[in-house]
Amino acid sequence: MSKFKHDLLLRLIKLVDAVLMTIPFALCWYLYYSDRTASPFDEKSNLIVVLLFLVLFIIFGRIYDAFMMSIQRISEIVYAQFLAVAVSDLIIYVVICLLSKGLTNLLPGMAALVGQIILAFLWAYLAHHGYYATFPAKRTAIIYDVRRGFEKLIGKYGLDGKYDVVLTLCAEDCLKDLSVLDGIETVFASGIHSHDRNIILKYCIEHSINMFVIPRIGDVIMSGARHMHMFHLPMLTVSRYMASPEYLLAKRIIDTIVSALGLIVLSPILLVTAIAIKATDHGPVFYKQVRLTKNGREFNIFKFRSMCVDAEKDGVARLSTGDKDDRITPVGRIIRACRIDELPQLINILKGDLSIVGPRPERPEIAAQYCEEMPEFNLRLQAKAGLTGYAQVYGKYNTTPYDKLVMDLMYIAHPSIIVDFKIMFATVKILFLPESTEGVAEGQATTMTENEVTVAAEKKSENDDDVAV
């Protein structure tokens, strides 16, 4: 099957899903809500409301990766579908309440949500199994340099049914004879020098081979380059954090509004948490910690205290070693699991120390350790630090500091309010996924030691990169 037909079929399958999710809502709207608004809707207006839900579901489905039947497990697809329909239903419910000039009965909407979840499971199951039954696994090659073992990830994430790894080769051997890629449909380039990678890339493009590249820091910086013409020549211009004044102003307004509303809406949770912490060991409710934000400026970040008062009495900065860390209090375990300990950072956002979206602020001592192996780590300080960020949404607890740095630089390279909103909504997806918790997994404190050789190798190869990325 040609790539065009393959992509067209996938789009049709995704459209079927969007229509299926819309059917329960449409029934709920036509049978109950449409006649109970302040101004009953005509047929045209009813259709607009249904189409609005369809558009919302498609938007949030893309944000939560709800349509990725080929690369996600069924459980992951259903979870993403649930989030997409739940957020879409919630938005429509708010609109209905505004039209009705008051709170309306939520039960019909909940019944529609149950129907949507059932249909989501059926679609996910059929689409996932149907995809692998229809499309045979692609003949795949892994070309590596400093990053080895990528083929293990394919099996770990259950993608061996999509990618059949028939060739694993170091870049040096591949460059000696590029014809070894003949008959290959997909290539994964893992940690290859940009000069060598570009040679392989050109060969793949010429021979219609799909190629996935793990970007390097230089690649990410260049991805934010602005295209222009000078001296009758094509040019790419790159500078330090090219965010426009309009973007920064809009971002600050959004930060102020969202943090203020968040503090008001969440005030009952904040109060109960404060009382629980104080009643447990009579220590301070909040924990202040020095962090770094834009241009290396230090500020005190606020968190609910989740550890004993003298957790770092020796003055040495340490990352948590996970649930078995005996420094964590009983209340601390609960608020960490629910991410409640992070909520006081809304105060930092309101003050202007933090943004809602940006690279997570690091402690000066930990940042200094990272910079010993990765001087580029300071490039994260081009933008204001954030409560959530690209690395928090798309990384995991065991994602290496180097890869988290690359993710943060990907965000910095493309400043956009749309991207900010996407990350904000995507953050909801990780709230109930324990593997995404920042720095709480056992062994996290030794990340730098375990990855020292890899990072050093990548750092060296980064310095050797060809400038024509």
Residue 68's region, left for phi above 0, alpha for psi from -120 to 50, else beta, is beta
Same domain flag for 256 and 287: yes
* C-alpha span between 10 and 132 (Å, rounded): 12
Closest Cα to residue 356, out of 395, 390, 400, 382?
Answer: 390
Do the domain assignments include residue 226? Answer: no
Q: Are strands 186-190 and 138-144 parallel, antiparallel or unpaired?
A: parallel
- Domain holding 49, by residue range, is 3-134
Residue 325's region, left for phi above 0, alpha for psi from -120 to 50, else beta, is beta
Q: Residue 141 in 3-state DSSP?
A: strand
Same domain flag for 33 and 129: yes
Q: Kindly state the tokens that stand for 312.
A: 């770092």
Same domain flag for 288 and 402: yes
Q: Residue 336 in 3-state DSSP?
A: helix
Same domain flag for 450 and 371: yes
Same domain flag for 53 and 126: yes
* C-alpha span between 207 and 46 (Å, rounded): 51
Instruction: State residue 121 phi and psi, 5-degree precision.
Output: -65, -45
Same domain flag for 120 and 153: no
pLDDT tens per residue, the chain (469 residues)? 667 787 888 899 999 999 999 999 999 998 888 887 766 667 888 888 899 999 999 999 999 989 998 888 899 999 999 999 999 999 999 988 888 877 888 899 999 999 999 999 999 999 998 888 888 889 999 998 877 778 888 888 888 888 999 999 999 999 999 999 999 999 999 888 888 999 999 999 999 999 999 888 888 888 888 888 888 888 888 888 878 889 999 999 999 999 999 999 999 999 998 898 888 877 888 888 899 999 989 999 998 888 876 655 555 555 554 555 667 888 888 888 778 888 999 999 999 999 999 999 989 888 888 888 888 888 889 999 999 998 888 887 667 888 888 999 999 988 889 999 999 988 888 876 655 544 433 333 333 333 443 444 344 434 433 322 2
Same domain flag for 177 and 286: no
Same domain flag for 124 and 152: no
